[in-house]
Structure 1
Amino acid sequence: MKKLRVMMVVHYTLVPPDDLLAEGDPRMEKYRTEYDVKTALLTLGHEVQVVGVYGDLAPIRKVIEEWKPHIAFNLLEDFAGNSAFDYYVVSYFDMMHLPHTGCNPRGLLLARDKALSKMILTYHRISVPHFTVFPRGKKISRLRKFTYPLIVKSLMEEGSVGIAKASYVENDAQLRERVALIHEKLQGDAIAEEYIDGRELYVTILGNTKLEVLPLRELEFGGTEPGTPRMATYKVKWDDKYRERWKIEYQFARNLPNGMAERIGHLCKRVYHLLDMSGYGRLDLRATADGELYVLEANPNPGIARDEDCSLSAIKTGLSYEDFIQRILQLGLMARSIDE
């Protein structure tokens, strides 16, 4: 295996401290992904230089010119505080002829926008929840063609940011209140989409042109709080004690109806290609009681800490975590050679 010079690009507040070594260190929670990826790269024998970025590309250019990395390991989720701008940085990698891990700029642009991606999938007759967008700065108009309940969330944010129990709305008054909150707190557009009742499935895909579907994960709502719809709120996603209290668990999908896993794999490969995703990604689905599949979101460059769904799915196939990180590196190098 060729040893590489890897420029690991992270948010400037997430550069892991050099003395962060112990799993019990209270700082570990904040830097988990960055620490896990850096440690895996070093274990694989690669040289690693971590570059913290906010709204200036100069630190990246400096490292490219002075250190001449073979590849950028991209862990950025926003640029200048805006998640919609992350594709700018990836476009810069391409402009500098530097291979990078994860999704290409076009795929980031298409998949990050929840409305645009749903429009594309609807055109290709793939089922998605009915939706409408409420642009920030415009009057919150009454819905006439939609039936409640609806889920209100940010158009661009990921990681369940802005999603809470109150995101589930059942009338116009609740809708206006929640949309206004998204506009004010997240400073961006809101999207309202129909609530699909069913099993919540997470599908990790590896690849650029030839794709591999990894073992399916599921968010199992074992004992949801009374009166609360089954959905992945911010608290569900990030609060371990809350999940434990209500018996909500991330696990590998079990007891799927005959043929559903194959249907899901075929569907997700199709979606991945239609949205021009590359490297690695995760698709979030709902499977209804009558077997209908709805694509909720497409997530390029999802979380890859050791204990996250994508990593666990890769490990389930027999890879080690380090093998998984090496595979992501190889896909980044291969994507560059395909483009050329």
Structure 2
Amino acid sequence: MKIAIIYNRDSQAVINLFGRPNREKYGLGTIDIIKKALEEGGHQVKTFEGDKNIISALEDFMPSVISGERPGLVFNLSYGIQGRARYTHIPGILEMLGIPYVGSSPETHAVALDKVLTKMVLMQKGLPTPKFTVLDTPDFDMPLQDDLKYPLIVKPKDEAVSFGLKIVNNEEELREGVKVIYDMFNSPTLVEEYIDGREVNVGLLGNTPVEALPPVEIAFSQGEKIFTYEDKKGTSGRTLEKICPAPIDEETTKKVQNLAIETFRALGCFDSARVDFRLDKDNNPYILEVNSMASLGKSGSYVFAAEKIGLDYNKLVNKLIEIASLRYFGPMAVEENSSSLYADPKMISFSYLTQQRDKMEEELKEWTNIPSWTGDPVGIGTMIKRLEKSFEDLEMTKASDFTNNRSAWTWETTQGFEGGTLMVVTIDVPHEGKGGYPIPFRREPEWLYGEGIASSRAGIACVIQALSALKIAGKIEDKKLGVFIYSDEGRGMRYSSHMLRLASAKAKEVIIMQPGFLNGKVVDQHRGSRKYSILVEGPFQRTGAHTTTPDAMSWFLAKSEIIRNISRPKEMINMAVQEVHSERYSILLPHRVRATVYLSFLDKDLAQQAEDALYSMFENPSEDEISVYIQKLEERPPLNKSERTSQMTEKLRIISEEWKLPFGTESGLLPTAGGEVPESTDLICGFGPASRDMFTPNECIHRGELLQRALLLTMYLLDG
């Protein structure tokens, strides 16, 4: 499980610094040993300062989960940066974000940190607590209540760790104590009777049921019998002894443990807490206060008591995670270490993939940061070498009959892929590699960015992770699977299309790993395309010359408007000029124009009509000095909805419902490799994660869909 440890130590990253600053902090050493304990417990752990950046930090560390996957959890050590009710700040944010966390809720922390509110709750529940009053300022003029007799204890109304704690014996000392607290905290003072006796505390662990740890006595060998802030920080100059179990009789032990449990429930605590008591000379217990965030410092009494019941530090820390997980998620239908998990390949694969989320993103980052533009043989070669290593690790071999080692490579399992499933992925980013720089990987809470991340890299990552999950589940050797890799997407599959036709004819079904659409939509229909090169040559003409023969550029521009009018959007026929280059000498007008015209279509007959109109337009130029040469550069067939797509989409829909994954279908505007797959082979396109801003510097994929698509692909292959 992903666990974020949130604490307050050094950061003051807030919009403004004002109000009461926090003086309560965990040491870095304690934070580090908690982190190591959780890592040894098998968790993925990261530490964060609990400041204004925590929301974006957690969004990055804990992306949205899929159904059945345990979300991340926060191990809350945060005492807040400033202000009142500071214990509530991080829990309040976590409640808003929907992130589970260890420890009590904001309302419990607010009550427990306010000692007066705590005492009022205790009194309402009939639980024993010393008599008290509240003084707002040191200039009070009212007499104390008759039943409050010196000596008394003064302490801040809403502070912790014994800040400002002091015994006062008369009115002068009382006013002085109240003044110190008022000057230090600008806060009212709680004044309560001093119970002369022994100090005992009881730690609590769990929820239903909650367990009371053995009582711990704080033994005072010298000085006043109160546990001051200086004692807790080790600066008082005296040594205090912690004794556990406290040397009190069994009846008193049971009494304070039961009172601690009642107090825990009365305040609505969760997971852990500590209740502090004083015992008078007759062993009558009085509840002093409740620490809703019992310290996990190694020298603290809570840790000391846990050790007495066999919970060493690592066990205690991981026990808190178990307790919070049980509270949020309940008993899991399948325990992670149960034999039933390892008997079910689907659950093994699910567990593997959900635990590999971060690794999948890191591998995607590595793939994305390898530049492999269409015209870059070095980058293409680097990608192939890395893929060879990945498929070797998966015990897949190269299918030589469907590999030309130039533009197409195919790997297959030991069973081969004849009559099975062939996955198709491109490794080139459509770019000729002339000028510019690769766009590096970057991560945002909802989107992952990088050059070619949608058009190529995410598909690779999904395939590798799905096959890895099958291997972990012990099923890859039983499956008829192949992976077809090609490197000329940027050239319309001019050189690899023949090899793909041969390979896909051998398979029963083909999955094209190009990007899909948001909400889990795959592509069951997409347009085809044709690309044409037009060369126009005209006379050499001076700028401003009077002539009836147009120059090449003017002539072509006049034709370009006619080209646009060939489009019939309602019939899904679109023709457009994509690029224009001209040549000229010195100050002369252009004498040569090269243009690329792009046609997208769904109906082949309508596409042929549009092509005939284009050729007819340029066949016999009316101007004697104008020459035109036109050539079809590439053609990519469309994919139309049919029985071969509907069978696969129906199966995917059933799997998606079972695993509670989003799913749907959409028509795509861009051509894909699916157009090369024979009609006899079942086919689905757009199986990669949803994308945005394809072929631009802002190309990205939806972060949550990376895991969703890898999981859907895995379950589909397992069902095959």
TM-score of Structure 1 vs Structure 2, range by shorter chain: 0.7 to 0.9
Report the equivalent of 2:654. none
Q: Report if aligned partners of 1:6, 1:49 keep a CA contact under 8 Å in 2.
A: yes
Listed one character per residue, the Cα deviations across residues 102-152 of structure 1 (whole Å, up to 9, x for unaligned) are 11112112211100110111122211111112235x842333312111111
Report the equivalent of 1:151. 153
User: What are the equivalent positions in structure 2 for 1:51-90 lying under 5 Å apart?
Assistant: 51-54=48-51, 56=52, 59-68=53-62, 70-78=72-80, 80-82=81-83, 84-90=85-91
* Amino acid corresponding to residue 140 of structure 1 in structure 2: F
Q: Report if aligned partners of 2:91, 2:106 keep a CA contact under 8 Å in 1.
A: yes
- Closer/same/farther in 2, CA of residues 188 and 65 from structure 1, 3 Å limit: same
Q: Report if aligned partners of 1:36, 1:305 keep a CA contact under 8 Å in 2.
A: no
Equivalent position SS for 1:142: coil
Task: Please state if 1:282 is matched with 2:274.
Answer: yes
Q: Identify the match of residue 36 of structure 2 among 35, 39, 44.
A: 39
Aligned-residue offset at 1:45: 2.5
User: What are the equivalent positions in structure 2 for 1:35-184 lying under 5 Å apart?
Assistant: 35-54=32-51, 56=52, 59-68=53-62, 70-78=72-80, 80-82=81-83, 84-135=85-136, 139-145=139-145, 146-163=148-165, 167-184=166-183
Equivalent position SS for 2:75: strand
Q: Distance in 2 between matches of 1:151 and 1:270?
A: 25
* Amino acid corresponding to residue 11 of structure 1 in structure 2: N
Q: Distance in 2 between matches of 1:254 and 1:291?
A: 12
Q: Report if aligned partners of 1:9, 1:74 keep a CA contact under 8 Å in 2.
A: yes
Q: Distance in 2 between matches of 1:231 and 1:238?
A: 14
Q: Report if aligned partners of 1:201, 1:253 keep a CA contact under 8 Å in 2.
A: no
Equivalent position SS for 2:49: strand
Report the equivalent of 1:336. 328
Q: Distance in 2 between matches of 1:127 and 1:106?
A: 22
Q: Report if aligned partners of 1:203, 1:268 keep a CA contact under 8 Å in 2.
A: yes
Report the equivalent of 2:251. 259
Q: Distance in 2 between matches of 1:122 and 1:83?
A: 24
* Amino acid corresponding to residue 150 of structure 1 in structure 2: L
Aligned-residue offset at 1:171: 1.4
Equivalent position SS for 1:33: helix
Q: Report if aligned partners of 2:271, 2:324 keep a CA contact under 8 Å in 1.
A: yes
Q: Distance in 2 between matches of 1:154 and 1:40?
A: 35
- Closer/same/farther in 2, CA of residues 14 and 197 from structure 1, 3 Å limit: farther
Listed one character per residue, the Cα deviations across residues 188-234 of structure 1 (whole Å, up to 9, x for unaligned) are 22211110011100100011231001111110012x13xxx311112
- Closer/same/farther in 2, CA of residues 14 and 284 from structure 1, 3 Å limit: farther
Aligned-residue offset at 1:241: 7.0
Aligned-residue offset at 1:240: 6.3
Q: Identify the match of residue 300 of structure 1 among 292, 314, 321.
A: 292
Q: Report if aligned partners of 2:200, 2:246 keep a CA contact under 8 Å in 1.
A: no
Equivalent position SS for 2:121: helix
Q: Which runs of 5+ in 2 are unaligned?
A: 13-25, 63-70, 331-720
Q: Report if aligned partners of 2:214, 2:246 keep a CA contact under 8 Å in 1.
A: no
Aligned-residue offset at 1:179: 0.6
Q: Report if aligned partners of 1:12, 1:51 keep a CA contact under 8 Å in 2.
A: no
Aligned-residue offset at 1:303: 0.8
Aligned-residue offset at 1:328: 0.8
* Amino acid corresponding to residue 67 of structure 1 in structure 2: F
Aligned-residue offset at 1:176: 1.2
Q: Distance in 2 between matches of 1:141 and 1:280?
A: 41
Q: Distance in 2 between matches of 1:187 and 1:209?
A: 39
Task: Please state if 1:5 is matched with 2:2.
Answer: yes
Equivalent position SS for 1:301: coil
Q: Distance in 1 between matches of 2:317 and 2:271?
A: 11
Report the equivalent of 1:323. 315
Q: Distance in 2 between matches of 1:33 and 1:102?
A: 17
Q: Distance in 2 between matches of 1:219 and 1:85?
A: 27
* Amino acid corresponding to residue 172 of structure 1 in structure 2: E
Q: Distance in 2 between matches of 1:12 and 1:263?
A: 38
Q: Report if aligned partners of 1:6, 1:47 keep a CA contact under 8 Å in 2.
A: yes
- Closer/same/farther in 2, CA of residues 114 and 250 from structure 1, 3 Å limit: same
Q: Distance in 2 between matches of 1:119 and 1:102?
A: 22
Identity %: 27
- Closer/same/farther in 2, CA of residues 83 and 208 from structure 1, 3 Å limit: farther
Report the equivalent of 1:270. 262
Aligned-residue offset at 1:307: 2.5
Q: Which runs of 5+ in 1 are unaligned?
A: 16-28
Listed one character per residue, the Cα deviations across residues 137-175 of structure 1 (whole Å, up to 9, x for unaligned) are x84233331211111111111111222xxx211111211
Report the equivalent of 1:239. 234
Equivalent position SS for 2:323: helix
Q: Report if aligned partners of 1:154, 1:189 keep a CA contact under 8 Å in 2.
A: yes
Q: Distance in 2 between matches of 1:308 and 1:194?
A: 26
RMSD of aligned C-alpha atoms?
A: 2.1
Structure scoring higher RCO (CA < 8 A, sep ≥ 6) equals 1
Aligned-residue offset at 1:12: 4.0
Q: Distance in 1 between matches of 2:5 and 2:214?
A: 27
Q: Report if aligned partners of 2:244, 2:304 keep a CA contact under 8 Å in 1.
A: no
Listed one character per residue, the Cα deviations across residues 77-116 of structure 1 (whole Å, up to 9, x for unaligned) are 12x3235222132022112111101111121122111001
* Amino acid corresponding to residue 64 of structure 1 in structure 2: L
Q: Which runs of 4+ in 1 moved over 4 A?
A: none
- Closer/same/farther in 2, CA of residues 253 and 141 from structure 1, 3 Å limit: farther
